[in-house]
Structure 1
Amino acid sequence: MERYTPLTGIDLVPASLLIDSEAPLDVLHAMADYRIRTVTQVLENIAFRSEMETDAVILSDFAQLVAIPLRDGCDLMDVIGRRLRMQAAETEETSVS
């Protein structure tokens, strides 16, 4: 696994927003948790509003606004998953030896 993974959705070369795949797992998890919970809170606040009039342009902009941190959180969770699978494979190899 490469040390620095670019965030999904950023097509610039070289990428400037990167995830350090060697950062401690608790730090990666905290960053993913923060982004996903922030989006969840915003969406819940909107869902509980009884009257909210918007047009298609505003909805499109809002969808993009909440998709960015949600995608970042998912990218972080992907890195965590790869790290955990690598650790599990190493543990399995060690226990077999």
Structure 2
Amino acid sequence: MDRYMPLTGIDLVPASLLIDTEAPLDVLQAAADYRIRAVTQVLENIAFRAEIGCDTVVLSDFSKLLAIPLRDGCDLMDVIGRRLRAQTKV
């Protein structure tokens, strides 16, 4: 695995947002946790509202906005998984 892995949602070369795959596991986990919990908090706030008046364009844009930190969190969790699997093979 390369030292620096670009985030999934960015297809530019060279990539400007990278994950340090050699960062301590607790640091990677904390970064993933922060992003996933932020999305969860927003979604819970929406889910428990009595009334939401939005059109489909707003909902579409909003879902795209929430997908970014969620994807970042998944990328971080992927690095953690790879590192843990590599440790068990040694």
- One fold, TM greater than 0.5? yes
Q: What is the match of residue 27 of structure 2?
A: 27
Q: What is the match of residue 63 of structure 2?
A: 63
1:71-82 correspondence to structure 2 within 5 Å:
71-82=71-82
TM-score by structure 2 length?
A: 0.99
3-state SS, counterpart of residue 49 of structure 1: coil
CA RMSD of aligned residues (A): 0.4
3-state SS, counterpart of residue 13 of structure 2: coil
Extract unaligned runs of 5+ from structure 2.
Answer: none
Extract unaligned runs of 5+ from structure 1.
Answer: 91-97
Q: CA deviation at 1:9?
A: 1.2
Aligned residues: 90
Distance 1:45 1:60 in 2: 17
| Residue 49 of structure 1 pairs with residue 52 of structure 2 | no
The amino acid of 2:18's aligned partner reads: L
Distance 1:59 1:75 in 2: 24
**Structure index of larger Rg:** 1
The amino acid of 2:14's aligned partner reads: P
Over 3 Å off, 4+ runs: none
3-state SS, counterpart of residue 80 of structure 2: helix
TM-score by structure 1 length?
A: 0.92
